[in-house]
Structure 1
Amino acid sequence: MKLRMLVAAAALATAGSVMADSAVVKDGYEFHGNQLVPSGVRAEVGTTGYGGALVWTPNSKVDVVLGYNGGDISWSDDVSVDGTKYDAEMDNNVAYLNAQIRPWSNWFYMAAGVGYIDSKYDLKGRPGSDGEIKLDGKTFGADVGNVIGKLKYGNDIAPYAGIGFSPAINNRWGVFGEIGAYYTGNPEVTLYNTGSQDALDVNGTTTAAEALANQRKKLQNDDEYEWLPVAKLGLSFRF
């Protein structure tokens, strides 16, 4: 769906440039059809996946960027709550529209915009080499088994803010780096264990089911997970 959105946007931009074969003057502002033609493209990879973008440059201080990031990215111990470490496998789907403002017309820019977020994370926690696993800050034995879960960001449309730099290699090619975050709101979370739900912690006070319910609430309500961090690097080309 997101790829179709990008293709449609590019098609509209191209069609608009063909139709606007002469300058339109309205309210003292002169608009040229070639302003609808992208001024460049870029390829990028980062925490929200890999993908690319179309770039429009109305003037030396502003770029408008329409892009898409997706794909599976995995690493270990990505999410940690009260001592429980989860391996996270990410299924990223992010389409975005940003304005990049260069206040000093140099490499530095500030980015602001919106993203369509449809990213999901598969979580898996395992007992350690000692056969123990922590749930909600309490220690359980191996009879709990593995802990399986899913985390999904609930806000489809999320505001974005970031900063970046984009030095030029020559008059056509350049590189860029950017960090920022989407405000996504609290995620939706499910957690369950593959072993006994009635297994008690080592102190005999809490069952695995109770501990997982508490941990799910913390993941869903912790301010830390209201933000989806972004860090990306890429290569740009100007037409």
Structure 2
Amino acid sequence: MKKALLIAGTLALATAATSVNAFEKRVSVGAIAGTTGFGGDLSWRFHENLALSARYTDGLDFDTDFEEDDVDYDAEFGLKASSFKVDYFPFGGRFFISAGAMLPNIDANVTGTPRNGSSFELNGVNYSAAEIGSVVGKATVADGTQPYVGWGWRSSHTEGFGFFSEFGVVATNVDVALRTTNGFENLDPSLNDDMRAEEASLKDDIDKLPVFPVALIGISYTF
């Protein structure tokens, strides 16, 4: 009886060891498109439940406009980002949860024009467009190293072609810097104060959400 139990235990341990060792480490390379642009993706699944992944995206530009007081602002956005993260596959299959760091560069060149065509209203004060020129500047939504979390689906545990997708959020750090084309704010302290107040007002308008949504789809090959 003891001998039978010993044999059964040995077989169970051997089966468990075989199951643990059955997973093969795999590398996936892919092309992606999403809310931060177009680019490439690399993933190393070194464990049934864990993988390391990195990506870079660029090349997505779009224009938008918004109003602040009596000034119409045109914003030309450019988006690019790189990231490095750990993917956790809780069930050992396709679904994963992701956490890591992203280096986004999401900003816009901003140009303001007066709605009435002749004067700007900055911080409640009217300034002649003929005197100060145009209001231009830069609005930053996110840059530097920011935390990222997300989730998605990827067939990185099996060899061959496959589609993958991911959804997540990256923290923002909104900033706005404005100037006039004639540079009169450097000579007029009151205009300079009103420009800084206009920056703060625009920042509050942009900074409604503390995160930027990240959504992407891609195709990959797993070796």
TM-score, normalization: structure 1? 0.60
Q: Measure, in 1, the Cα distance between the counterparts of 2:197 and 2:102.
A: 31
Q: Measure, in 2, the Cα distance between the counterparts of 1:67 and 1:159.
A: 15
Deviation at 1:99, TM superposition (A): 1.6
Aligned-CA RMSD value: 4.0
Aligned to 1:70: 58
Match of 1:57 among 45, 60, 66: 45
Q: Measure, in 2, the Cα distance between the counterparts of 1:80 and 1:111.
A: 37
Aligned to 1:112: 99
1:44 has 2:32 as partner:
yes
Deviation at 1:192, TM superposition (A): 3.0
- 1:110 is aligned with what amino acid? I
Residue 196 of structure 1 contacts residue 208 of structure 1 at CA under 8 Å; is this kept in 2? no
Match of 2:139 among 139, 148, 151: 151
Aligned to 1:18: none
More strand by share: 2
1:213 has 2:201 as partner:
no
Aligned to 1:96: 83
**Paired residue secondary structure (2:208):** helix
Residue 68 of structure 1 contacts residue 96 of structure 1 at CA under 8 Å; is this kept in 2? yes
The verdict on how the C-alpha distance between 1:193 and 1:53 changes in structure 2, with shifts beyond 3 A counting, is same
Query: How far does the alpha carbon of each residue in 1:196-235 deviate from its partner, in whole angstroms, 9 at most, with x for none?
Result: 979xxxxxxxx98665422311344675364333222222
Q: Which runs of 5+ in 1 are unaligned?
A: 1-29, 199-206
Q: Which runs of 5+ in 2 are unaligned?
A: 1-19
Q: Measure, in 1, the Cα distance between the counterparts of 2:141 and 2:217.
A: 23
1:87 has 2:74 as partner:
yes
Deviation at 1:135, TM superposition (A): 5.8
The verdict on how the C-alpha distance between 1:65 and 1:133 changes in structure 2, with shifts beyond 3 A counting, is farther
**Paired residue secondary structure (1:224):** coil
The verdict on how the C-alpha distance between 1:118 and 1:127 changes in structure 2, with shifts beyond 3 A counting, is same
Query: How far does the alpha carbon of each residue in 1:5-63 deviate from its partner, in whole angstroms, 9 at most, with x for none?
Result: xxxxxxxxxxxxxxxxxxxxxxxxx99xx95xx61111112222221121111233333
Q: Measure, in 1, the Cα distance between the counterparts of 2:123 and 2:92.
A: 50
Deviation at 1:114, TM superposition (A): 0.3
Query: How far does the alpha carbon of each residue in 1:81-102 deviate from its partner, in whole angstroms, 9 at most, with x for none?
Result: 6686643333434221012223
Larger Rg over CA atoms: 2
TM-score, normalization: structure 2? 0.64
Higher relative contact order (CA closer than 8 Å, sequence separation 6+): 2
Residue 84 of structure 1 contacts residue 136 of structure 1 at CA under 8 Å; is this kept in 2? no
Deviation at 1:160, TM superposition (A): 0.6
**Paired residue secondary structure (1:218):** helix
**Paired residue secondary structure (1:76):** strand
1:161 has 2:142 as partner:
no
Give the percent of matched residue pairs that are identical in Structure 1 and Structure 2.
27
